[in-house]
């Protein structure tokens, strides 16, 4: 062979050379170059083959290397014989990973982990348990990275592990710690402490600048809030509790968006008394009487005694709250205006009272022979959520109840003015014998026994509870101050609409068998927030809050309530002892004129669609003071008093 002057370069085995010309960390490769015998073979790591050209120059790219130092064996072969052998080192060195953890003064901001790594590397952040809590990529130009991590929701120092990888291969890791500070603790009051009714103050320890909130389980809104001082102490403003059991959740939001909580139960085991709600009579409304009796209904704490007392102290009627939280009992009131007090005495001894004013109007109604139309002996009746409907005829105003054979009162209601009754009663899907009892306000009770009737379950659709209208921050149309609430829920459940500002029950209805409801509730043309309660026949109550919805009236003209005639200390002409009261108000509302001296209803009328009213009221030629009431369709009332007006006969 003619090596053309290169013989000196290739004398003996030492004439064979090779070196690393460049490396690629991302590609895990290295470029090799060198000299060998012209037109000879160069074998890399026993398998890869390169070929030296006519000048003896060769080159080759080696792939599949590892991060770190790689030993590469190179051999030169000519005519089947090895004529040279060398070894080179290809080093794939990566930038060492660094990381630090920091937070801002804003509690809502999560902890930031930042640092430097190999340019373009993938950075994964794990917690001490190995769970990935953050990811980032090192900048291709600078190697800088930054990511935020979820808080552990625990106090103290927590370790995070930053790992970098290049092309799926681990390329180093580093640990970094962050101190989330002191977890929330409540030092006062102690858990399960028994406290009297009245103010209670919460205090404790936490992380400086942490935000403290206190809520009661099962109720909306924040009861108290505080900020942790620099010394780690916090004290929340006092709020009041009653003597029943209450469970509070205390939450601290501190640096790094870290949330820690504590629960405190006060008066464990004490009765949690339900509020007294009077459904009828409606305050400011009119109630019919049958035989000098009205029916008092509402909801309260099961097992409580309920009574209604006239303003002169006369006890007019008593009853008891049933297991489902409802009550219904007769009370003695003649046809006149009354101020009365309904009182609930819970089994625990706690009392609640509601004052109501109402007008009783005689309406003896239809008195039909007592009968039961459903269920029937040997018949079948369908139930929804274990509730059937009991129907029949009887004496208007009489109380009706159905009692199972074991003595359990399954349901109760009242005979309407048309002589008919219909009320729900609880019966599971089984055969039954039961007794229906009618107790009139005056006279003996009557009983009818229904034997061997079979209840068949027909539960209907049970949809997740939601309110579709009105919506938070939306608008709602009203007609006669009535807004329609719609939504979905559990078939047969009771829906209650409660004004958030004062706890007023604005409307009530039932979820239909198709799982949907549409309930009318009274709201004037203003902005409101309301609680919508779904109370199933079995199970816990659910509540949805609809906030800041604006009611837009579709009624006639709604003017501010005022009386233009007669005026206080003025004169009022009468014709046949009738005085005309004039004024302005809300279209469709009822106007009542009541003599202040004896509560006599002297006249009644309605505000017209223009917002005006003209009502005839009976007053002889004397001096009077009168109350002028404007009453909404559901019984809400406004009152203006006209004092010392002189009636003159015409």
Q: Is residue 1 part of a domain?
A: no
Least confident span in 111-115, 488-492, 599-603, 631-635:
631-635
Secondary structure of 61-91 in HEC code, one letter for each residue: EECCCCCEEEEEEEEEEECCEEEEEEEEEEE
Buried b (16+ CB within 10 A) or exposed e, 151-188: bbeebeebebbbbbbbeeeebbebebebebbbbbebee
pLDDT attached to residue 13: 40
Residue 492 has pLDDT above 50, yes or no: yes
Residue 269 has pLDDT above 90, yes or no: no
Average pLDDT on 392-413 reads 87
504 & 582 share domain: no
Q: Is residue 2 part of a domain?
A: no
How high is the mean pLDDT of the chain? 86
Of 480, 641, 630, 477, nearest to 567 (Cα)?
641
Least confident span in 120-124, 133-137, 321-325, 618-622:
321-325
Helix (H, G, I), strand (E, B) or coil at 13: helix
pLDDT attached to residue 422: 84
372 & 439 share domain: yes
323 & 350 share domain: yes
More confident residue, 346 or 13: 346
Among 457, 472, 503, the domain-final residue is 457
83 & 119 share domain: no
pLDDT attached to residue 368: 82
pLDDT digits 0-9 by tens, 405-448: 998 989 888 777 677 888 888 898 889 999 999 887 666 889 99
Residue 558's pLDDT band (cuts 50, 70, 90): confident
pLDDT digits 0-9 by tens, 532-546: 999 887 678 899 999
Q: Is residue 616 part of a domain?
A: yes
pLDDT attached to residue 536: 83
Q: How far apart are CA 270 and CA 420, in angstroms?
A: 41
565 & 593 share domain: yes
The total number of structural domains that make up the chain: 7
**What CATH number should be reported for the domain holding residue 71?**
2.60.40.10
Asked whether the CA dihedral 458, 464, 468, 474 is positive or negative, the reply is positive
pLDDT attached to residue 230: 93
pLDDT attached to residue 3: 36
pLDDT attached to residue 563: 95
pLDDT attached to residue 10: 44
103 & 175 share domain: yes
Residue 183 has pLDDT above 60, yes or no: yes
Buried b (16+ CB within 10 A) or exposed e, 54-77: eebebebebeebebeebebebbbb
Among 46, 70, 92, the domain-final residue is 92
588 & 535 share domain: no
405 & 345 share domain: no
Q: Token pair 């018949």 is at which residue?
A: 379
pLDDT digits 0-9 by tens, 589-646: 889 999 988 888 888 888 887 788 999 999 989 999 999 998 876 567 889 999 999 9
Q: Which domain holds residue 55?
A: 13-92
pLDDT attached to residue 12: 42
535 & 575 share domain: no
Q: Could you tell me the pTM of the whole model?
A: 0.39
Q: Is residue 6 part of a domain?
A: no
Among 519, 534, 553, the domain-final residue is 553
Residue 382 has pLDDT above 90, yes or no: no
Least confident span in 33-37, 203-207, 391-395:
391-395
571 & 497 share domain: no
Q: Is residue 202 part of a domain?
A: yes
Residue 556 has pLDDT above 70, yes or no: no
pLDDT attached to residue 442: 63
Q: Token pair 């029949």 is at which residue?
A: 392
């Amino acid at each position: 062979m003619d090596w053309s002057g290169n013989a000196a370069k290739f004398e003996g085995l030492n004439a064979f050379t090779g070196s690393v010309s460049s490396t690629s960390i991302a590609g895990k490769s290295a470029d090799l170059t060198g000299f060998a015998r012209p037109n000879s073979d160069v074998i890399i790591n026993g398998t890869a083959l390169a070929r030296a050209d006519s000048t003896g120059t060769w080159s080759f790219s080696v792939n599949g290397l590892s991060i770190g130092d790689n030993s590469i064996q190179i051999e030169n072969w000519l005519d089947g014989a090895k004529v040279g052998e060398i070894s080179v080192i290809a080093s794939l060195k990566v930038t060492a990973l660094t990381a630090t953890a920091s937070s801002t003064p804003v509690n809502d901001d999560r902890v930031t982990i930042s640092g430097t790594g190999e340019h373009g590397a993938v950075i994964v952040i794990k917690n001490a348990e190995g769970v990935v809590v953050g990811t980032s990529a090192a900048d291709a130009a600078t190697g800088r990275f930054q990511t935020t991590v979820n808080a552990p929701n625990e106090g103290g120092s927590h370790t995070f592990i930053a790992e970098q990888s290049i092309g799926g291969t681990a390329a180093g890791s580093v640990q970094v710690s962050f101190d989330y500070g002191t977890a929330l603790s409540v030092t006062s009051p102690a858990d399960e402490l028994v406290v009297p009714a009245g103010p209670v103050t919460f205090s404790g320890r936490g992380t400086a600048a942490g935000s403290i909130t206190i809520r009661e389980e099962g109720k909306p809104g924040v009861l108290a809030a505080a900020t942790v001082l620099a010394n780690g102490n916090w004290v929340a403003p006092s709020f009041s509790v009653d003597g029943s059991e209450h469970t509070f959740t205390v939450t601290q939001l501190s640096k790094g968006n870290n949330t820690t909580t504590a629960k405190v139960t006060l008066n464990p085991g004490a009765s949690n008394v339900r509020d007294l709600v009077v459904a009828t009579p409606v305050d400011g409304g009119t109630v019919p009487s049958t035989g000098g009796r009205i029916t008092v209904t509402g909801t309260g704490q099961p097992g409580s005694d309920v009574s209604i007392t006239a303003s002169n102290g006369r006890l007019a009627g008593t009853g008891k709250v049933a297991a489902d939280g409802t009550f219904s009992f007769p009370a003695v009131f003649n046809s006149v205006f009354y101020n009365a007090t309904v009182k609930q005495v819970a089994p625990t001894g706690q009392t609640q009272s509601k004052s109501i004013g109402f007008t009783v109007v005689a309406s003896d109604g239809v008195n039909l022979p007592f009968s039961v139309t459903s269920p029937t002996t040997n018949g079948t009746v369908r139930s929804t959520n274990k509730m059937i409907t009991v129907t029949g005829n009887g004496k208007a105003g009489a109380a009706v109840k159905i009692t199972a054979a074991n003595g359990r009162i399954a349901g109760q209601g009242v005979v309407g003015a048309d002589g008919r009754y219909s009320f729900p009663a609880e019966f599971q899907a089984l055969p039954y014998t039961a007794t229906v009892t009618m107790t009139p306000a005056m006279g003996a009770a009557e009983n009818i026994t229904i034997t061997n009737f079979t209840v068949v379950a027909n539960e209907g659709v049970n949809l997740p509870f939601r309110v579709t209208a009105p919506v938070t921050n939306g608008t709602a149309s009203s007609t006669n101050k009535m807004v329609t609430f719609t939504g979905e829920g559990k078939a047969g459940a009771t829906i209650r609409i409660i004004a958030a500002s004062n706890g007023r029950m604005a409307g009530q209805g039932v979820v239909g068998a198709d799982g949907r409801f549409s309930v009318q509730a009274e709201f004037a043309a203003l902005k409101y927030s309301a609680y919508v309660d779904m109370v199933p026949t079995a199970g816990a109550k659910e509540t949805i809050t609809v906030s800041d919805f604006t009611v837009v009236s579709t009624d006639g003209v709604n003017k501010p309530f005022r009386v233009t005639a007669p005026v206080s200390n003025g004169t009022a002409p009468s014709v046949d002892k009738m005085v005309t009261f004039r004024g302005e108000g809300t279209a469709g509302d009822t106007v009542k004129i009541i003599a202040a001296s004896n509560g006599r209803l002297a006249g009644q009328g309605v505000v017209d669609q223009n917002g005006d009213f003209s009502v005839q009221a009976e007053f002889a030629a004397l001096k009077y003071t009168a109350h002028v009431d404007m009453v909404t369709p559901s019984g809400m009332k406004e009152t203006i008093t006209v004092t010392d007006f002189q009636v003159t006969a015409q």
